Structure 1
Amino acid sequence: MTIEILLFDGFDDLDAFGPFEVLSEAGLSTRFVTIQPLERVTSAHGARIVPDGILGDPDLVLVPGGGWNDRSGAGAHAEARDGRITTALAERHARGRRIGSVCTGAMLLAEAGILRGRPAITHHTAIEDLRSFGVEVREGERVVDDGDVITAAGVTSGIDLALYLIERELGSEAAKAGAREIEWDVIRAAA
């Protein structure tokens, strides 16, 4: 399984780094990419990241959140208005590729039209926004797997999503080992 975490200026640090560390540690091919060539991307908290390249054709594109609620010039809201990421996500999904999100990254999936009529979750502060896209919001869930789309709730739930993916790809012992490595007490099943 190949995974590309799609970064943009203003992404939430833990939304991207949490899953990256857990997935990479398990041996799954995981890399940071951008929608267009960039020398660096700056997170919501100021970390400067040198991406591995531009979005390719991985088995899973994982989209972090950040910057949805504050409607600033950087983050998920700005990227939704820009449209390049949402267009790319819609195209990949239409070609049968799996798409995932952490936190308000789900809003980019919703803007791309991928979540309409489907179960999903996002950060608790954006649930009503997600619902306005015709999404069947699964409040209280940390990870919602709907086959070709997988969403995780707020920030730390990206780690739950990563452990869930490891369990699906490599088995429960690998997921338990990953949870032990990061001292994560609970592996939570997806809805």
Structure 2
Amino acid sequence: MVTTIEIVCFDGFEELDAIGPYEVLQVAASRGLPLDVSLVTLEACDRVTAANGLRIEPDGVLSVAEPPDIVVVPGGGWNDRDSAGAWAEAERGAIPSALADLHDAGTTVAAVCTGGMLLARAGLLDGRPAVTHAGALDDLRETGAEVVDARYVDDGDVLTAGGITAGLDLALHLIERLADAETADAVATHMEYERRG
């Protein structure tokens, strides 16, 4: 059975928050793990521009009607209160609403960096252990989440990771959950990355 994983992109997302997990998961898929990994947006568009100017063409649109098994949400732009990025998306509310609906439909929800703040806005971190970028920990505490000092936190159907590069460790952890430690270690070795967490 193929596990579908969709990484939600939006204008102003932090590149490595999304592309890091995407590459880790795609390497695992190329090594035989049955994954269907894609970059999606909430609404149809031709292109999304990330925080540092990288432009991507999304593979499709996130759908609550056909929910993925796992959704991964990057951060970016939270600490600067940018007009594009996680802060803007939290204020807009559409992504947090979709995340709540997906979670209710049985999707495992994961976030990297300040993408965790979108999970908090969705009400998914209330009373749960979580982590985010170091610069947003006070904001996370204010949401009612139980802030944990960790590289990533796995609370079953909700996972969060610290800042930026922690998304690599979160993705490797997902591989370990879906397969085993040996597969995750093989992917890390292939990428010449030393696992942390």
* TM band (smaller chain): over 0.9
How far does residue 187 in structure 1 lie from its aligned partner after superposition? Answer: 4.8
Aligned amino acid, residue 124 of structure 1: A
1:128 to 138, 148, 157: 138
What CA distance in whole angstroms lies between the structure 2 residues aligned with 1:62 and 1:112? 14
Aligned partners of 1:143 and 1:151 also within 8 Å: yes
What's the TM-score once normalised by structure 2's chain length? 0.93
Describe the SS at the equivalent of 2:96: helix
Query: For the Cα contact (< 8 Å) 1:179–1:187, is it kept in 2?
Result: no
Q: Decide whether the 8 Å contact of 1:68 with 1:104 is kept in 2.
A: yes
Q: Confirm or deny: 8 A CA contact 1:164 1:187 kept in the other structure.
A: no
The aligned length equals 187
1:21-170 to 2 correspondence within 5 Å? 21-27=23-29, 28-56=35-63, 57-139=67-149, 141-170=150-179
Instruction: For residue 71 of structure 1, give the secondary structure of its aligned residue in structure 2.
Output: coil
SS of structure 1 residue aligned to 2:80: coil
SS in 1 for 2:51: coil
SS at match of 2:60: coil
Amino acid at match of 1:4: E
Determine what percentage of the aligned residue pairs are the same residue. 56
Say if 2:11 and 2:84, in contact at 8 Å, map to a contact too.
yes
Asked whether the 8 Å contact 2:151–2:196 carries over to 1, the reply is no
Runs of 4+ with deviation above 6 angstroms: none
Residue 26 of structure 1: SS of its match in structure 2?
Answer: helix
Q: CA deviation at 1:143?
A: 1.0
Per the TM alignment, residue 2 of structure 1 is displaced from its structure 2 partner at its CA by: 1.0
Question: Conserved in 1, the CA contact under 8 Å of 2:8 and 2:62?
Answer: yes
| Counterpart secondary structure, 2:61 | coil
Q: Equivalent residue for 2:4? A: 2
Task: Select 1:182's aligned residue among 156, 167, 191.
Answer: 191
